[in-house]
Amino acid sequence: MVSFEASLRPFAVEALRVFARGRTYLILLYHFLSLPLAIIYFAVLFLCAAIGAITAPIGIGILILIGGLIAARGFSMLERELAIALLGMELPPLAALPSGSPWARIRAHLGRAETWKALAYLMLKLPLGLFVYALAIPVLGPAILGILGLARTALPDRSIAGLFSSLIGAALGVAIVIAVVHGAILLARLWERVAAAMLGPSQDERIVWEAQRRAEAADRKRRELILNVSHELRTPIASIQGHLDSLLMPEAERPANIDPQQYLGVAAAETRRLGALVGELLDLARADASALPMSVRPVDIGPIAHRVALTLAPLAKHERQVTLVDADAEPGVVGLADPDRLTQVLTNLVRNAINHTPAGGAVRLQAGADDATHVFVAVSDTGSGIAAAELPHVFDRFFRTDSARSRDTGGFGLGLSIARDLVEAMGGTITATSELDVGSTFLVRLKRPGG
Ligand code: ADP
């Protein structure tokens, strides 16, 4: 049984963790600034409104009211920036005012709901600031005094009883400070909702902004893909070109150590790699367009895993001296999958496992029922493993582990990303666990029919 003390430990760690986050101090700064800023907003806007209203009959009042409007817009812009920088909020930009004469702009500004919402927000800042200060000063003051009291009584020639009571005072002080900081974070999270509703653009503008952001992200991804593909193409093409150029040299000028057969072999192998890359890119493009030909149906996964093991057994045994263990699945383990695509995924996982396992190691393929609603296929190896820092990225496009890059295993870092696309398109999941120099396990989970 977990002791009471042990069950408190994670709670205490969690309570203290906020002090390690930079955001906590930014939030405290936000609260600290709230009252002084609110007083400035209130004073400026109140004065502009009052003086403007009184002097309106003599004309100058209109200019003062306009000045107040401009100040309010400036204040709300400042508040947006503070919410973004200190609270870490994402606020979509406000639509620009239409171009035209100053009067047209002022009329447009006055006609917008956002203008009045922002003004109300500026006024709401005052109660927030007052609330924060009224609560923080009476609570934090004694707490800090309690903590300081310990320092005072810790001096020599103080009594033990005095030191003990100061210790309790200091402990209480620390607990109060922790509680206040958590309260401040909670208040900031609640206030964020107010800020999002009152400082953001209208619902329609927000929808347009989100669509724009999605389009920009897709564009960035496409540019990255082109860059990565070009980068990956460069090495094999340079290698093919180099080898063929050497073979094309007049025989008299060609260095004696060039073996034409070997050079042609390298060029052929690189060409095959390029062909594989094109195949993988096609799969990726189809997955992106949700156009992977896929026919998901109930299939017995044991025989599929078995066939993959049979196909790759020669590679494991003769080329890598690795034992491929195909643990017999219980018959009738039926999952929802496209048999050809599942074969593609398992082939990729088993080939990776074989390639990353040193001679004498073992690769194990296992299929079975996971729970009432899922079946699984696991591919585990006793190979090099993947570092904890790299593990979360192995399914990213073009990601290769450091060791794979330095050994140049020939892959382009697309296999696992395609495997994930395929498994997800079948309604399943794929995960990896690994320990460096111990081995890795890739687990494919598929839904059972009706599960
Ligand atoms: P590639 O086609 O280049 O092998 P993958 O997408 O299949 O790319 O794999 C991504 C990275 O994960 C590669 O760098 C590979 O070295 C590493 N990796 C994949 N499977 C294993 C495994 N079983 N053991 C260790 N590393 C692995």
Asked if 428 and 446 touch (Cβ cutoff 8 Å), the reply is yes
pLDDT at 341: 92
Nearest residue (CA) to ligand 1, atom 14:
400
DSSP per-residue letters across 185-234 = HHHHHHHHHHHHHHHS--HHHHHHHHHHHHHHHHHHHHHHHHHHHHHHHH
For the record, the structure tokens of 191 come out as: 């206030």
User: Tokens at residue 73, please?
Assistant: 């817009």
pLDDT of residue 2: 46
Q: Best substitution site from 322, 348, 382, 400 to test ligand 1's pocket, by max atoms within 8 Å of Cβ?
A: 400
Q: How many helices (H) and strands (E) does the chain have?
A: 12, 7
State if residue 414 touches ligand 1 by the CB under 6 angstroms criterion: yes
For residue 6, pLDDT beyond 70: no
Q: What is the pTM of this model?
A: 0.59
Span from the CA of 107 to the centroid of ligand 1 (angstroms): 61
**What pLDDT score was predicted for residue 407?**
55
User: Which element (helix H / strand E) includes 110?
Assistant: helix 102-110
- Residue 3 is predicted with a pLDDT of 52
- Res. 360: pLDDT tops 50: yes
CA of 435 to the centre of ligand 1 (A): 14
Q: How far apart are the CA of 223 and the centre of ligand 1, in A?
A: 24
Q: Is 404 in the pocket of ligand 1 (CB under 6 A)?
A: yes
Which residue minimizes the CA distance to atom 7 of ligand 1?
A: 415
| Residue 229 confidence (pLDDT) | 86
pLDDT at residue number 10: 63
Q: Indicate whether residue 357 lines ligand 1 (CB < 6 A).
A: no
Question: 428 CA distance to ligand 1 centroid (A)?
Answer: 20
What average pLDDT does the segment 49-61 reach? 88
Where residue 332 falls (left for φ over 0; alpha for ψ -120 to 50; beta otherwise) is left
Residue 326 Cβ contacting ligand 1 at under 6 Å: no
pLDDT tens string 117-161: 999 999 999 999 999 999 888 888 888 877 777 666 555 556 777
Output the residue whose Cα is nearest ligand 1's atom 13. Answer: 400
Closest atom of ligand 1 relative to the 280 alpha carbon: 2
Choice between 160 and 41, residue whose per-residue pLDDT is larger: 41
% of the chain exceeding 90 in pLDDT: 51
Q: How many CB atoms lie within 10 A of CB 249?
A: 11
Task: Supply the mean pLDDT for the chain.
Answer: 87
Q: For 439, phi and psi rounded to 5 degrees?
A: 145, 175
Partners of residue 40 on adjacent β-strands: none
Q: Could you count the other beta carbons within 10 Å of the beta carbon of residue 158?
A: 12
How sure is the predictor about 292, in pLDDT bands with cuts at 50, 70 and 90? confident
Residue type at 54 in one-letter notation: I
User: Which pLDDT does position 445 carry in this prediction?
Assistant: 97
Question: How far is ligand 1, taken at its centre, from the CA of residue 266, in Å?
Answer: 23
Lowest mean pLDDT of 261-270, 326-335, 376-385, name the range: 326-335
**Token duo for residue 328:** 């017999």
- Residue 188's pLDDT is 95
Choose between 407 and 47: higher pLDDT.
47
Is the model more confident about 392 or about 107?
Answer: 392
**Max mean pLDDT range (29-43, 173-187, 199-213):** 29-43
State mean pLDDT over 367-392. Answer: 92
Contacts of 131 (CB under 8 A, 6+ apart): none
Rounded to an integer, the average pLDDT of 315-325 is 89
Does ligand 1 lie within 6 Å of residue 401's CB atom?
yes
Q: Which residues pair with 432 in a beta bridge?
A: 442
Q: Measured from the CA of 353, which atom of ligand 1 is nearest?
A: 23
Structure tokens at 197: 């509703």
The mean pLDDT value for 38-64 works out to: 91
Q: Which band of pLDDT confidence, cut at 50, 70 and 90, is reported for residue 406? A: low
Query: Distance, CA 439 to ligand 1 centroid (Å)?
Result: 12
Q: Would you put residue 59 in left (φ > 0), alpha (ψ -120 to 50) or beta?
A: left
Q: For 304-317, what is the mean pLDDT?
A: 91
Tokens of 294: 């896929």
Banded model confidence at residue 9, pLDDT cuts 50, 70, 90: low
Res 104 pLDDT > 90: no
**Is ligand 1 within 6 A of the CB of residue 394?**
yes
